Amino acid sequence: MVTLAFNNVSVRFGGLLALSDVSFEVPEKQIVGLIGPNGAGKTTAFNVACGFQKPTSGTVDFPELGRGRLKPSQLARAGVARTLQGVGLFSHLSVLENVMAGAQSRPGGSAWRALVGLPSVARQERHLREEALSQMDRLGIVEFARSLPGGIPYGVAKKVSIARALMSQPRLLMLDEPASGLDEAELEVFEELIVGLRASMSVLLVEHNMDFVMQLVDQLVVLNFGRVIAQGSPRDISTNADVLAAYLGIDE
Ligand SMILES: Nc1ncnc2c1ncn2[C@@H]1O[C@H](COP(=O)(O)OP(=O)(O)OP(=O)(O)O)[C@@H](O)[C@H]1O
Ligand SMILES: [Mg+2]
């Protein structure tokens, strides 16, 4: 089963072809890494997948959800979660509340909405709180539960945005540069976390840090100047001459 498929997707910004005839698939419960040098088109591809950017031609399909372009809100309800290249937390909510808010876009109706007017509100809220704390515990950020996002380190904020995305119980999690701004120790925690997600969801990982993705993906798609120049297992990609030339700037 395929969770997400790009079919001949092109995106043009004026005279610039940011994506050119891009096709690839994210199979169910696999981690696919989308890599490429600066300006290769990774974020553009990510935005197309999220529904933020309309392709100039081609389609993005979520086969389980039917064909046709879906709005970001529809994708969220259908079990697609994402974190953006930045962090994007609600600045007036505590870290814990930010994570709990992720449950709002659970597939099959909002846990949040279900809270309203039910006699068991307190129990449900307690349950969500416990769930949020357990996600945060997995990421080692429980101690920041009461902090406001403005007062926490960048690496912690990135983890908060992942914990929030996981609260929506996604079938597909899309991450844009989750490793940026993290130190070595944090990278290891992230690596383990992302590998652990494969048991329950598909992951599309957009990443600049090639060493980081190599360790944890099932498949890699390599973009350069908007085109897919290679796709395959990390082992195949690591010896692919086109990739080495483009990505590492090595001339043959
Ligand atoms: N909204 C836009 N309008 C015009 N050009 C854009 C727009 N967004 C991206 N581009 C251009 O499209 C190309 C691909 O950009 P994109 O941000 O997708 O690359 P990227 O692989 O994510 O790069 P980075 O590694 O720096 O994040 C670049 O040349 C960029 O300048
Ligand atoms: Mg980018």
Give pLDDT tens digits for 169-211: 899 999 988 888 788 888 888 888 889 898 999 999 998 888 8
Nearest CA to ligand 1 atom 30: 39
Q: Does ligand 1 have an atom closer than 6 angstroms to the CB of 42?
A: yes
The model's pLDDT over 152-161, given as tens digits with 9 standing for 90+, comes to 998 889 889 9
Ligand 1 atom having least distance to the Cα of 38: 25
C-alpha–C-alpha distance, residues 204 and 194, integer Å: 10
Nearest CA to ligand 1 atom 7: 13
Residues written for the chain? 252
Residues 6+ apart with CB under 8 A from 112: 101, 103, 104
Q: Does ligand 1 have an atom closer than 6 angstroms to the CB of 154?
A: no
Q: Does ligand 1 have an atom closer than 6 angstroms to the CB of 40?
A: yes
Express the helix, strand and coil content of the chain in percent, nearest 5 each: 40, 25, 35
Q: Which pairing describes strands 219-224 and 31-35: parallel, antiparallel, or unpaired?
A: parallel
CA of 206 to the centre of ligand 2 (A): 8
Nearest CA to ligand 1 atom 25: 38
First to last CA, the chain: 39
C-alpha–C-alpha distance, residues 215 and 40, integer Å: 21
Q: Which pairing describes strands 202-207 and 172-176: parallel, antiparallel, or unpaired?
A: parallel
CA of 95 to the centre of ligand 1 (A): 31
- The mean pLDDT of 11-32, rounded to a whole number, is 96
Can you tell me whether residue 132 is helix, strand or coil? helix
C-alpha–C-alpha distance, residues 76 and 50, integer Å: 9
pTM, entire model? 0.87
Nearest CA to ligand 1 atom 6: 13
Q: Using 50, 70 and 90 to split pLDDT, how confident is the model at 229?
A: very high
Neighbours of 112 (CB within 10 A): 17
CA of 44 to the centre of ligand 1 (A): 6
Q: Does ligand 1 have an atom closer than 6 angstroms to the CB of 18?
A: yes
CA of 57 to the centre of ligand 1 (A): 17
Nearest CA to ligand 1 atom 24: 38
- The mean pLDDT of 206-233, rounded to a whole number, is 91
Across all residues in the chain, what is the average pLDDT?
Answer: 86
C-alpha–C-alpha distance, residues 205 and 32, integer Å: 6
Confidence (pLDDT) at 186: 83
Helix (H) or strand (E) holding 136: helix 121-138
- The mean pLDDT of 112-140, rounded to a whole number, is 78
Confidence (pLDDT) at 21: 98
Does the pLDDT at position 251 exceed 50?
Answer: no
Query: Of 159, 183, 206, 240, which is closest to residue 40 (Cα–Cα)?
Result: 206
Tokens of 68: 């046709």
Q: Using 50, 70 and 90 to split pLDDT, how confident is the model at 252?
A: very low
